[in-house]
Copies of this chain bind each other. A is one copy, B any other.
Amino acid sequence: MKIQEEQIQIENQKDLASHVESLDFLSNKLTKQNYDVNAIISKLADFQVAIPSWALGAGGTRFGRFSYFGEPSNLEQKIEDVGIIHSLTKTAGAVSLHIPWDVPEDYTAIKEVANSLDIKFDAVNSNTFQDQKNAKESYKYGSLSNVSQAVREQAIQHNLDVINIGNKLGSKALTVWLADGSCFPGQNNFQTAFQNTQDSLIDIYKGLPQDWKMLIEYKPYEPNFYSTVIQDWGASLMLANGCGDKAYTLVDLGHHLPNSNIEQIVSILQLKGKLGGFHFNDSKYGDDDLTAGSIKPYALFLIFNELVYGMKNNPQNPDLAWMIDASHNVKDPLEDLIQSLEAIQESYAKALLVDQDALKAAQLDNDVVKCQEILQGAFRTDVRPLLEKARLLSGGVLNPIKAYRSLDVREGLIRERGKNTIATGL
A residues at B contact (CB < 8 Å): 21-22, 25, 29, 60-64, 66, 129-131, 138, 140-141, 147, 179, 182-192, 194-195, 220-223, 225-227, 231-235, 237-238, 257-261, 263-264, 267-268, 270-272, 283-286, 288-291, 293-299, 302, 305-306, 309, 313-314, 328-332, 335-336, 339, 343, 346, 359-360, 362-364, 366, 368-369, 371-376, 379-382, 384, 401, 426
Copies in the complex: 4
* Across-interface contacts of A185 in B (CB, < 8 A): 263, 294-295, 298, 302, 371-372, 375
**Is B366's CB under 8 angstroms from A141's CB?**
yes
Which residue of B182, B339, B375 contacts A186 across the interface (Cβ within 8 Å)? B375
* Across-interface contacts of A366 in B (CB, < 8 A): 140-141, 147, 330
**Is B261's CB under 8 angstroms from A194's CB?**
no
Which residue of B66, B189, B234 contacts A237 across the interface (Cβ within 8 Å)? B234
Which residue of B66, B190, B294 contacts A372 across the interface (Cβ within 8 Å)? B294
**A263 CA to B184 CA, complexed, in Å:** 13
**Is B261's CB under 8 angstroms from A231's CB?**
yes
**Is A259's CB under 8 angstroms from B284's CB?**
yes
Name A129's closest neighbour in chain B (CB-CB): B63
How far, in Å, is A329 (CB) from chain B's closest CB?
A: 7
**Is A288's CB under 8 angstroms from B225's CB?**
yes
* Across-interface contacts of A29 in B (CB, < 8 A): 21-22
**Is B329's CB under 8 angstroms from A371's CB?**
no
Name A232's closest neighbour in chain B (CB-CB): B234
